[in-house]
A and B are shown apart, each in its own frame.
Chain A
Amino acid sequence: MSKNRKRIFKVFFAWQEEKEAAWLEEMAEKGWLMEKYHMIFYTFVQGQPEKYIYKFDYRDTNRDTTEYLEIFQDSGWEYVDRYLNWYYFRKKDDGTQLSDIYTDSRSEVQKYKALFRTFLILGIVNLFNLINITFNTSNTLSHQGELTFYNILRLLVLAAFVLVGYACFKTYRRIQGLKSDL
């Protein structure tokens, strides 16, 4: 990795978009512009310290991605990276332009509904895993060591299930919040 790049390990959950954006904006003000995101690693490139606005979008489809990105770029949003179905955009903040990618709550609800659907599917898959692992191990186990292994696995699957469940709840709450206007 060259001198003017750095990699930072940081974890944000799907319901912490504002926090994540604020952190990326802070980095930009220090002259570090986000270049890539992978798993839990952010790669930054050094540039001029400047004020930026970061926004994220979520799509549950890969259809028409070229057209999708084109509309963002035409309207002044720079496409930074994409991870799974999350898209990272940024724009220089001069205080005069439109600072959001969603300008009404009805369309923003669509974004979170897509996210909610994804979490719901993940949650159901996880639940099946959990049931499977809890009831299928008893007859196959013979060694003490295996038992510990399955216990750890069970715990991990349970933790994933709780996390996805919480993500579902947070996304649902956000949808309700957006819908509450008259």
Chain B
Amino acid sequence: MDTQINIKKYLPLTEATYYILISLLEPLHGYGIMQNVEKISDSEVRLGPGTLYGALSKLEKEKLIQHVSSSERKKYYQLTEGGKKLVQLEFRRLTGLIKNSKNVIERMEENNEQK
């Protein structure tokens, strides 16, 4: 319960952070994350190296991801238990937003069609 409360303070996540977290269920290195985010978002979301590196060091410091291994010059990261909980909480929050606003958005669209 305690961790739940602690983790809630990170919400809402930025788009970049959310995409980084969902890329790290399995171990992956920095550039791998960039490629994965571009792939799963259909090239809609692209992360700059400054943004990615900043997010990684922050997430690692907050123990939401951890450094699992290194090969050559690359560090591999993976979600911690806390990181998994965070991404699930954010998913639920976002789903709630969509559900609660659907009605309003649909009415707006209907109005637009009538005009």
Chain A contact residues, CB within 8 Å of chain B: 55, 57, 64, 66-68, 70-72, 74-75, 77, 98, 100-104, 106-108, 110-111
Could you write out 19 A-B pairs with CB less than 8 Å apart? Answer: A67-B53, A68-B53, A70-B73, A70-B74, A71-B31, A71-B34, A71-B49, A71-B52, A74-B30, A75-B48, A100-B50, A101-B49, A101-B50, A102-B48, A102-B51, A102-B54, A107-B51, A107-B54, A111-B50
- Could you say which residues of chain B place their CB within 8 Å of the CB of A108? 50-51
What are the nearest 4 A-B pairs in CB distance? Answer: A74-B31, A101-B50, A107-B51, A103-B48
User: Are A103 and B30 CB-contacts (below 8 A) given A67-B74, A110-B54?
Assistant: no
Choose among B51, B55, B75 the residue that contacts A67 (Cβ–Cβ < 8 A).
Answer: B75
Task: For chain B, residues 16 to 67, give those with C-beta under 8 angstroms from any C-beta of chain A.
Answer: 16, 30-31, 34, 46-55, 57-58
Number of A-B contacts (CB under 8 A): 69
Given A64-B75, A67-B73, A70-B73, A75-B49 contact (CB < 8 Å): yes
B103 within 8 A of partner (CB): no
Q: Which residues of A contact B14 (CB under 8 A)?
A: 104, 106-107
